[in-house]
Amino acid sequence: MELAILSGTGNPALAGAVAKSLGVPLGNRVLSRSPDGELRVEIQENIRARDVYLVQPTGPPLDRNLMELLFLTDACRRSGANHVTAIVPYFAYARQDRSLTGQHALGARLVPDLLRMAGVGRVVAVDLHTTSVESAFSIPLEHVSAVNLLSKEVAPSPRDGVVVAADMAALRMAERYGRALGLPIAIVAKVRLSDEEVVARNVIGDVRGRTPIIVDDMIITGATIEAALNAVGTFGATRNATVIASHGLFVGRAAQRLAALPIERMLVTDSVAISSDLTLPLKIVSLTPLLSQVISRLHKGERLGDLLGQL
């Protein structure tokens, strides 16, 4: 069964790099909009009986990219693809995994159901926000991690460093970075007041006189990073911080907020397309090696093993 790689407009540069790494051309497709905004998708090559991998993060604009993924999947199935795997480096709506009042939509359950109905047979996602998401999938989910890729960019780590989980949800990720870098960890206890406002209540662990390496799964508005850096600074950490996140969305006031903080360097992956206009000490680490290995192993029927994240 031959391999085919296609993408939407979510991050065609990443999709092209993955296809090139695997030695296959990026598949031809046309995405267009009718005057009233309806999406139209056409596959323009023969993918009948092929093993298709759709590389399409659902980053901003979330709904447009998600709809493209659904339509691409349906078009592939109708074109005779034998199997469709959705490679979704950034998986939107994963934070909507519970309804505190019983009156909220559960996006973390709805989106996987939509993908299944469209014809996706398997989903690959990178560093999901929460450990509870896997139970929402009625189709196989491969949860892989960029921690090893990003850790290599930090090494050698500062001797006086401390890995700081930006909040309790990032604790497991901080533990993995701590092991990889040979550093102790600390945790920031935060309270989210709104999408743009976060307050840190406490820091668990010793950060006094240490160089903080703040880690989180994603940076959206930068509010969590701001609260974490302010908190460790209050508890005596040095001001030359490193920030690491698997996904850099940088929406709203993120650029201005982060530029005002004592950040020496910031590392994110190219899970979503990132504007070149950002004036931040930013290094973008490509997911191409990771995703290429994932696709190659899945296509050959091999286990992912060391590539998997810890759900």
The β-bridge relationship of strands 83-88 and 263-269 is unpaired
Average of per-residue pLDDT across 50-59? 98
- Residue 110 to residue 104: CA distance in whole angstroms: 12
Number of alpha carbons in the 13 Å side-chain half-sphere of residue 14: 29
At residue 60, the pLDDT reads 96
What mean pLDDT is predicted for residues 176-190? Answer: 94
Asked if 190 is an active-site residue, the reply is yes
Greatest alpha-carbon pair distance for the chain in Å reads 61
Query: CA quadruple 259, 261, 264, 268: dihedral positive or negative?
Result: negative
What gap in Å lies between CA 144 and CA 310, rounded to an integer?
8
Catalytic option among 20, 152, 190, 300: 190
End-to-end CA distance of the chain: 31
DSSP state letter for 72: H
Q: What percent of the chain clears pLDDT 90, i.e. is strictly above it?
A: 85
CA 125-112-24 angle, 5° bins: 45
Q: Each residue of 78-136: pLDDT tens digit?
A: 999 999 999 999 999 999 988 878 899 999 999 999 999 999 999 999 999 887 788 89
Beta bridge partners of 130: none
The mean pLDDT value for 284-301 works out to 98
* Average pLDDT of span 211-226: 96
Residue 298: band (very low, low, confident or very high) from pLDDT cuts 50, 70, 90: very high
Judge if 187 and 113 occupy the same domain: no
Range of the domain at 256: 147-285
Sheet holding 263-269, edge to edge: 197-204, 185-194, 161-165, 211-219, 241-248, 263-269, 282-285
Better-scored residue on pLDDT, 37 or 131? 37
Dist. CA 301–CA 284, nearest whole Å? 30
pLDDT at 279 over 80: yes
CA distances from 52 to 136, 142, 232, 280, 295 (A): 23, 16, 46, 37, 10
170 & 124 share domain: no
Number of domains within the chain:
2
pLDDT of residue 120: 98
Between these two residues, 68 and 197, which has the higher pLDDT value? Answer: 68
Read off the CATH number of the domain in which 296 is found: 3.40.50.2020
Tell whether the model's pLDDT for residue 1 goes beyond 70.
Answer: yes
Q: Quick one: 121 and 38 in the same domain?
A: yes
Residue 144, pLDDT score: 96
The pLDDT mean for the chain works out to 94
The answer to whether residues 71 and 193 belong to one domain is no
51 and 117 housed in the same domain = yes
Q: Is the pLDDT of residue 287 over 70?
A: yes
pLDDT band of residue 70 (cuts 50, 70, 90) is: very high
Between CA 126 and CA 89 the distance in angstroms is 5
Confidence of residue 310 (pLDDT cuts 50, 70, 90): low
Backbone phi, then psi, for 181, in 5-degree steps?
Answer: -100, -10
In this prediction, residue 180 has a pLDDT band, given cuts at 50, 70 and 90, of very high
The proportion of the chain whose per-residue pLDDT surpasses 70, expressed as a percent, equals 99
The verdict on 179 and 243 lying in the same domain is yes
Q: Are residues 105 and 153 in the same domain?
A: no
pLDDT at 193: 64
> Looking at residues 238-260, what average pLDDT do you find?
96
In this prediction, residues 247-260 reach a mean pLDDT of: 96
Which of 282, 242, 264, 248 lies closest to 162 in space, CA to CA? 242
74: left (phi over 0), alpha (psi -120 to 50) or beta: alpha
Instruction: Tell me, yes or no, whether 90 and 140 share the same domain.
Output: yes
| 236 and 107 within one domain | no
Q: What is the mean pLDDT of residues 15-34?
A: 98
Q: Please tell me whether residues 188 and 84 are part of one structural domain.
A: no
**pLDDT score of 97:** 87
Sheet holding 3-7, edge to edge: 3-7, 51-55, 83-88, 122-126, 141-144
- Dihedral of CA atoms 165, 170, 175, 178 in degrees, nearest 10, equals -40
Same domain for 60 and 10, yes or no, is yes
Does 170 lie in the same domain as 67? Answer: no
